[in-house]
């Protein structure tokens, strides 16, 4: 494992570097207390949803409630209670909104609690599992496969550490980290392990800043709500002269008592307010929320139902929407007359030799478990996968007295350019498949040129695991005249191949060739269906370009880099 001395952590701020803890021991209890006293704590208010007060305020203080409420109060003073029953529409309308949105809030809050991570930090030389809100500046945080960086920091230890920053940058390939490299909040470890020192906590962390910007609440755009509000605005202006005329006619022409005149005036004005329209709209929205809830869909605001109904374009991310996180082995192509049974045993042994398999190796482990003859092999040396060298390897004593070294990795790295297996690899890549080469090495794993002159043994063909419901979902969109646009940071060819397998036809476009001007981009988006190599900023620009053409756009996404585009959609 590679280490970084504490006095080299922050060359721009030497005073801070002197106070930084040793990577091996982390902060002392006194150091933690000192930073807590200075307020250098990762204390970020978790606001996964609106507060109950916000929900009540938004549903109570409306133009409709104001009009009916004033008339209701007047009637309570001047007429019998049975003449004031119209006011209960306020309770019904307000109650529907508050109850539905409060239920959504409770669900969101429980999901946020379930998804909370508990990182491991080093304090007083011992590892300790704490909540994210207890992290302080300069904490040394241990990370391994699957762990998420919850604060910004700088790497202090690395043992084959590879971090996936696709949620931040959209770049699919993992980034190899060495001591001194930056670690961004929102990224997560895919291979290796190590530790990093927290340099930005709380609202200063990148992910926290982005989340704070995205969490600024804005009302859902609703044409129905806007139309009703416009009607009520005109009704309000018309009510004033109408009320004056009615009460004068009651007092002067018919010589009624004041209370009776007021009651009759209110009775004449109330029908001007479209109570039924408002109530039935809320009921229709509530029914939609219930029906969507049965399909595991959470609606935070009632008017979002209308927005969903008006959607004519859906922007889909590939990973997590069309495909699942894992991969599957679809084919094994043996080369050079090798024994397929032995090849399967080697693949199983290679999988068992890596304690931190990536997605590709995990698919091989699932397909070729380490059993049978390979289970008795002795692993004498292992080389974990690295995206820098693009292969992994291991040396096995296979029980016949001979030690053999095997490599598994990218064919274009392990094979010479004129090897016929590369042509086959290219054809498979064009179909959106990933290909790994299993090769026997003539040199030891310790040799820096171990990948030279290898003997190709087999091609392992993998594909991303498609979601079982993805094809049906795309067909449903087509039946509803909703256009689907696949937007991904991955290679355009592979994304297009996945879309084609799911029955989504249309042009595949490399987003690096898209024009920057909004109108020209909108034209390109109308013509294309699948877009690869899309940057985070482009996602937001693409949503804006589609909206500029009058489209109602919905978007799915699972990354920090998607949040602002999701908010715009």
Work out the percent of the chain whose per-residue pLDDT is above 90.
Answer: 4
Secondary structure (3-state) at 404: strand
For position 106, what pLDDT does the model report? 76
pLDDT at 197 over 90: yes
DSSP notation for 241-255:
HHHHHHHHIIIIIS-
pLDDT of residue 497: 83
- Residue 327: pLDDT band (50, 70, 90) is confident
Calculate the alpha carbon distances from 548 to 198, 222, 304, 326 in Å: 42, 17, 20, 37
What does each C-alpha distance from 544 to 27, 442, 537, 549, 560 come to in angstroms? 46, 56, 11, 9, 18
pLDDT of residue 112: 54
Average pLDDT of 200-226? 71
In this prediction, residue 254 carries a pLDDT of 67
> Does the pLDDT at position 415 exceed 50?
yes
Are the beta carbons of 419 and 456 closer than 8 angstroms? yes
Give burial (CB, 10 Å; 0-12/13-18/19+) of 187: buried
CA angle 540, 546, 548 (to 5 degrees): 100
User: What mean pLDDT is predicted for residues 305-326?
Assistant: 81
pLDDT surpasses 60 at 349: yes
The whole-model pTM stands at 0.65
Mean pLDDT across 73-77: 85
pLDDT at 153: 92
User: How far is 243 from 265, CA to CA, in rounded Å?
Assistant: 6
Report, as an integer, the average pLDDT of 117-132: 87
Q: What does the pLDDT look like over 125-154, one tens digit per residue?
A: 888 888 888 889 999 999 888 788 888 999
Residue 565: both structure tokens together: 């585009």
What is the mean pLDDT of the segment spanning 320-342? Answer: 84
How confident is the model over 18-34, as pLDDT tens digits?
Answer: 456 788 888 888 888 99
174-183 pLDDT per residue, tens:
777 889 889 9
Has 317 been annotated as catalytic? yes
Q: Does domain 327-466 have CATH number 3.90.1300.10?
A: no
Per-residue pLDDT, 155: 92
pLDDT of residue 445: 83
Taking residues 429-446, what's their average pLDDT? 84
- Write down the domain spans for the chain: 2-39+135-205, 52-111+220-284, 311-322+468-568, 327-466
Higher per-residue confidence, 2 vs 506: 506
Span 216-230, average pLDDT: 72
Indicate if the pLDDT at residue 411 is higher than 80.
yes
The pLDDT-based confidence of 7 (bands split at 50, 70, 90) is very low
Query: How sure is the predictor about 196, in pLDDT bands with cuts at 50, 70 and 90?
Result: very high
Residues 6+ apart with CB under 8 A from 42: 132, 133, 134, 135, 136, 150, 151, 198, 201, 202, 205
Q: Identify the CATH number of the domain defined by range 311-322+468-568.
A: 3.40.50.1000
Specify the residue for token string 């207890």. Answer: 134
pLDDT of residue 8: 39
Structure tokens at 140: 């040394």
- Annotate 142-176 with three-state secondary structure: EECCCCECCCEEEEEEEEEEEEECHHHHCCCCCEE
Residue of 296 and 86 predicted with greater confidence? 86
* Paired tokens of 463: 């594909």
Compute the average pLDDT of residues 367-376. Answer: 67
Q: Are 453 and 442 in contact (CB under 8 A)?
A: yes
Give 2-39+135-205's CATH code, choosing from 3.40.1010.10, 3.40.50.410, 2.40.50.140, 2.70.150.10.
Answer: 2.70.150.10
- The pLDDT, as a whole number, for residue 231 is 84
pLDDT value, residue 10: 45
pLDDT at 490 over 70: yes
pLDDT for the residue numbered 563 = 64
CA separation for the pair 183, 96 (Å, rounded): 45
For the purposes of burial, counting CB atoms within 10 Å of the CB of 226, is it exposed (0-12), middle (13-18) or buried (19 or more)? exposed
Say how far apart CA 242 and CA 67 lie, in whole Å.
14
User: How confident is the model over 237-248, as pLDDT tens digits?
Assistant: 888 788 788 877
Q: What mean pLDDT is reported for the chain?
A: 80
The pairs formed by 58-64 with CB atoms below 8 angstroms and a separation of 24 or more are 58/97, 58/101, 58/219, 59/94, 59/97, 59/98, 59/101, 60/94, 63/229, 63/232, 63/233, 63/236, 64/90, 64/93, 64/228, 64/232, 64/273, 64/278
Residues 6+ apart with CB under 8 A from 339: none
Lowest mean pLDDT, pick from 17-21, 103-107, 474-478: 17-21
Residue 422 in this model has a pLDDT that exceeds 60: yes
Q: ∠179-182-186 over CA atoms, to 5°?
A: 125
- What local confidence, expressed as pLDDT, does residue 5 receive? 44
| pLDDT for residue 18 | 40
544-565 tens-digit pLDDT: 888 888 888 888 866 666 666 6
Q: Which of 147, 152, 317, 354 is catalytic?
A: 317
């Amino acid at each position: 494992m590679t280490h970084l001395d504490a006095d080299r952590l922050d060359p721009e701020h030497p005073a801070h570097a002197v106070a930084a803890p040793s990577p091996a021991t982390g902060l002392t209890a006194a150091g933690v207390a000192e930073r807590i006293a200075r307020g250098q704590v990762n204390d970020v208010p978790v606001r996964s949803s609106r507060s109950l007060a916000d929900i009540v305020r938004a549903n109570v203080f409306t133009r409709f409630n104001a009009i009916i409420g004033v008339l209701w109060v007047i009637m309570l003073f001047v007429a019998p209670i049975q003449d004031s029953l119209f006011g209960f529409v306020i309770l019904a309308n307000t109650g529907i909104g508050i109850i539905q949105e409060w239920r959504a809030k409770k669900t969101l809050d429980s999901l946020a609690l379930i998804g909370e991570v508990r990182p491991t930090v080093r304090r007083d030389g011992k590892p300790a599992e704490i909540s994210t809100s207890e992290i302080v500046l300069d904490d040394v945080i241990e990370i391994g496969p699957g762990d998420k960086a919850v604060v910004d920091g700088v790497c202090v230890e690395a043992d084959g550490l590879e971090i996936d920053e696709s949620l931040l940058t959209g770049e699919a390939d993992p980034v190899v980290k060495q001591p001194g490299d930056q670690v961004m909040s929102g990224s997560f470890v895919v291979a290796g392990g190590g530790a990093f020192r927290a340099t930005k906590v709380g609202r200063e962390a990148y992910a926290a800043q982005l989340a704070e910007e995205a969490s600024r609440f804005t009302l859902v755009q609703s044409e129905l709500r806007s139309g009703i509000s416009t009607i009520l605005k005109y009704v309000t202006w018309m009510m004033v002269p109408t009320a004056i005329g009615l009460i004068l006619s009651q007092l002067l022409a018919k010589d009624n008592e004041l209370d009776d005149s007021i009651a009759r005036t209110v009775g004449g004005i109330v029908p001007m307010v479209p109570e039924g329209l408002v109530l039935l709209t809320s009921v229709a929205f509530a029914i939609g929320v219930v029906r969507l809830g049965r399909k595991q869909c959470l609606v935070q605001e009632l008017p979002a139902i209308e927005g969903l109904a008006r959607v004519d374009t859906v922007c889909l991310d590939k990973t997590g929407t069309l495909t699942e996180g894992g991969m599957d082995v679809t084919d094994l192509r043996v080369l050079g007359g090798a024994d397929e049974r032995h090849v399967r045993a080697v693949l199983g042994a290679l999988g068992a030799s890596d304690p931190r398999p990536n997605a590709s190796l995990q698919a091989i482990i699932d397909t070729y478990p380490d059993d049978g003859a390979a289970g008795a092999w002795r692993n004498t040396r292992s080389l974990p996968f690295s995206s820098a060298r693009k292969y992994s390897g291991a040396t096995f004593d296979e029980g016949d007295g001979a030690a053999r070294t095997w490599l598994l990795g990218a064919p274009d790295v392990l094979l010479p350019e004129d090897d016929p297996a590369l042509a086959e690899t290219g054809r498979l890549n064009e179909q959106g498949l990933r290909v790994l080469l299993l090769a026997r090495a003539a040199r030891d794993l310790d040799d820096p040129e171990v990948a030279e002159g290898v003997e190709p043994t087999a091609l392992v063909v993998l594909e991303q695991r498609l979601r079982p419901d993805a094809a049906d979902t795309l067909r449903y969109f087509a039946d509803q005249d909703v256009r689907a646009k696949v937007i991904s940071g991955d290679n355009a060819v592979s994304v297009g191949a996945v879309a084609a397998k799911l029955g989504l036809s249309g042009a595949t476009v490399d987003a690096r060739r898209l024009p920057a001007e909004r109108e020209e981009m909108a034209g390109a988006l109308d013509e294309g269906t699948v877009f690869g190599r899309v940057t985070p900023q482009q996602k937001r620009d693409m949503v804006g370009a589609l909206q500029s053409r009058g489209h109602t756009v919905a978007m799915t996404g699972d990354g920090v880099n998607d949040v602002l585009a999701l908010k715009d959609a």
